[in-house]
Amino acid sequence: MDGHMGMRKTSSHCSISEMDDFDLSRLLDKPRLNIERQRSFDERSLSELSIGLARAGLDSYDTYSPGAGGRSGFNTPASSTRNSFEPHPMVADAWESLRKSLVHFRGQPVGTIAAVDHQSEEVLNYDQVFVRDFVPSALAFLMNGEPDIVKNFLLKTLHLQGWEKRVDRFKLGEGVMPASFKVLHDPIRKTDTLIADFGESAIGRVAPVDSGFWWIILLRAYTKSTGDLSLAESPSCQKGMKLILTLCLSEGFDTFPTLLCADGCCMIDRRMGIYGYPIEIQALFFMALRCALSMLKQDDAEGKECVERIVKRLHALSYHMRNYFWLDFQQLNDIYRYKTEEYSHTAVNKFNVIPDSIPDWVFDFMPTRGGYFIGNVSPARMDFRWFALGNCVAILSSLSTPEQSMAIMDLIEARWDELVGEMPLKISYPAIESHEWRIVTGCDPKNTRWSYHNGGSWPVLLWLVTAACIKTGRPQIARRAIELAESRLLKDGWPEYYDGKLGRYIGKQARKYQTWSIAGYLVAKMMLEDPSHLGMISLEEDKQMKPVIKRSSSWNC
C-alpha cells in the first residue's frame, strides 16, 4: 500500500475533503523514530492548522504514528514511551481504571461502560456502553496504538443500527444509531446477548441525535489513525453513513439548514431548554458531514448525489452558523439596537428578536475581545448561554473561521473563572435558577443551579478544550486546565461532574470512576505530549465556505 496514502478523495471539486488531509510531519521538535510504519496522512502544508503554533513555540511537527511504542501495559502506555519525560503518576492509574471498564462480547472488547462505581447503590444505565461516552475512550486507545477495540465498537453499533426501532407503536428512522447498548452474559448457556437502547428506555424517551454523528466522526478518526481504508470503504459502513445522513438531509418544512431537535437529544439528555436548534447538534452535524464527505465513495449515481447534497448543505450551514449564531461585542451591540417587525428581504433582524429579551448577564460576560456561538437561534428566540461542547467542536471541525476560533479562545481566557474555575470545564454558562429553572427544566431535581447540565463542571470536556487549544496555537491554556484537573481528579475518584460556580464540589449525584472523565484526561495528556494526535479529530477550513461577514468583528477591535 502506498506509504503516503491518506483519506480517499471524493472528487476533484470537493475541496472539503482535499483540505481534510494535512502535513503532520513536524508536530514536535524531536528526532524521527526509526520504525517502519505505514503513514496514514498525506504530507501537506500545516500552515492553516498552526494559526498560532509558531507563536506558542511549536515550530516543527513529527509524523503521526499511532502505537509506535507498541502495545502497552498499564504502566507503560505507548504515548509515554515515545517521550523522553516521565508521565504524570495519574496516567498509570487512569489506564488501569480505563481497562477495568472494558466490555467484551463473545471474547472481543467492544466498548467501555459509563462508570465502574462500586460504591453506588443504583446502577441505573451506567453499566452500559454509550456511543457518545465511548468516543474519548476510543481516542485514547487509538492514540495508544490499540485500534481493534474501536473497530469492534464501530462494527457492533453498525449492526445495531440495522435493528427495527420502536417506541410504543411508532417506528424510528432506519439510520438512527443507539444511545447505548448492554452485553448480557449467560454463564450457564455460555452465550452473550446484546440489548440496545435507541431512546425508548431513556429519560424523556428521546432518540439520541448525536450518536450517529459521533459514529461517523469516530470512523474517520479510526481511518486517519490506522491508515486502514477498508473499514470505511466497506459496503456496510458506506450504507451506515448514508442512512445516518438521509435522516438529516431529507427535505421538509425547514427554512434553515440547521437541524430541528427535541430537548435532551445529546450530551444534555434532560430537559434544559435546548430544544430547537442547539449548538451542540449543529456543530456535530457539520463535523459529521465533513467527515462523511472524506470517506464516501462516488462509484455510482447514489454516491455522487449524496456527496452533492452534503456539499450544498455544508455551504448553507456554515453561512447560517457563522452569521446568525455568532456573538461578539459588536454583534451584541447590534442586537441591542435591533428594530423589530421588519417585513422584507432586507430585514436586519431576520429572526425578529426583541432586544428586551437579551439577558442582563450577557452584557457583563461579553469581553471586548472574544466571542462564541450562542446556544440556539430560532424565530424570536436567541439562547445566549455558552455551551462548551458545541464551541469546541466548532473549532475542531472548522465550522468557526480561524478568526472566530481565536475569539472563542480569547473568551475562555478572559472569562476563566466563569468557564473553568477550579475544575474544567463548564458544560453551560450561566446556570438557570429560581422561576426560570422551574419553567425551563420542569423543576428537575438533578439540574439545579450550578449542578449537572445546569452549569456543572465536566472533566470529560478537558479533551475537547485541549484539542481546540492545540489547533488554535494556545497549548498553554490546555496545560493550565490539565494541571487544575490533576490536582483533584484522582484524589476525588474520577467523578462524573462537579458542582458550584467554581466547580469546587463533587457533584451531588456524580458517579465515581466515570469512564469518560478518565479517558478525557488521558486523551488531553496524550495530545499535549504529542500534538500530532490532533489530526484524527480535527478538520481544516475549506476556503470555499468562508462567508462574507459585513459587520465588524471582535478580533478587529
Q: What angle do CA 510, 484, 457 make, to 5 degrees?
A: 35
Over residues 198-229, the pLDDT tens digits come to: 988 877 789 999 999 999 999 999 999 999 99
474, with CB counted inside 10 A (0-12, 13-18, 19+), is buried
Count Cβ neighbours within 10 Å for each residue of 176-213 and write b for 16 or more, e otherwise: bbbbbbbbeeeeeeeeeebebbbbbebeeebbbbbbbb
pTM of the complete model: 0.85
* Grid cell of 236 as nine digits: 456496510
CA distance 227 to 312: 28
Looking at residue 546, what is its pLDDT? 61
Residue numbers in the chain where pLDDT is lower than 70: 1-86, 120-121, 546-557
Residue pair 237/15 in contact by the 8 Å Cβ criterion: no
CA distance 291 to 216: 7
Looking at residue 166, what is its pLDDT? 85
Looking at residue 277, what is its pLDDT? 98
Q: How far is CA 149 from the centre of its chain?
A: 20
246, with CB counted inside 10 A (0-12, 13-18, 19+), is middle
CA distance 425 to 502: 10
Residues near 154 by beta carbon (within 8 Å), at least 6 away in sequence:
215, 218, 219, 222, 231, 237
The CA–CA distances, whole Å, from 162 to 131, 159, 222, 303 equal 16, 6, 21, 20
Residue pair 477/55 in contact by the 8 Å Cβ criterion: no
Tell me the three state secondary structure of residue 418: helix
CA distance 445 to 148: 40
CA distance 74 to 146: 13
Amino acid type, 82: R
Backbone Cα Rg of the chain = 22
First to last CA, the chain: 50
CA distance 503 to 262: 28
CA distance 113 to 353: 43
Looking at residue 283, what is its pLDDT? 98
- Pair type for strands 170-171 and 326-328: unpaired
CA distance 61 to 271: 44
> For the chain, which domains are there?
89-536 (1.50.10.10)
Amino acid type, 439: I
According to DSSP, the residues that pair with 181 across neighbouring strands are 129, 196
Looking at residue 121, what is its pLDDT? 65
DSSP 121: S
* Grid cell of 510 as nine digits: 456524580
Looking at residue 49, what is its pLDDT? 42
- Torsional sign, CA 50, 79, 82, 483: positive
* Grid cell of 222 as nine digits: 479510526
Q: Give the other-Cβ count within 10 Å of 293's Cβ.
A: 25
Looking at residue 201, what is its pLDDT? 85
CA distance 161 to 156: 9
Q: What is the DSSP string of 286-355?
A: HHHHHHHHHH---SSHHHHHHHHHHHHHHHHHHHHIIIIIEEEHHHHHHHHT------STT-SSTT---G
Q: Give the other-Cβ count within 10 Å of 163's Cβ.
A: 14
CA distance 187 to 209: 35
* Grid cell of 444 as nine digits: 428537575
The CA–CA distances, whole Å, from 281 to 237, 288, 502, 548 equal 22, 10, 26, 24
The CA–CA distances, whole Å, from 166 to 156, 180, 240 equal 19, 15, 19
CA distance 405 to 119: 41
Question: Phi and psi of 129, rounded to 5°?
Answer: -95, 110
3-state secondary structure 186-227: ECCCCEEEEEEECCCCCCCCCCCHHHHHHHHHHHHHHHHHHC
* Grid cell of 302 as nine digits: 447514489
CA distance 98 to 156: 20
Residues making up the chain, counted from first to last? 557
* Grid cell of 472 as nine digits: 488554535
Residues near 209 by beta carbon (within 8 Å), at least 6 away in sequence:
259, 261, 265, 266, 281
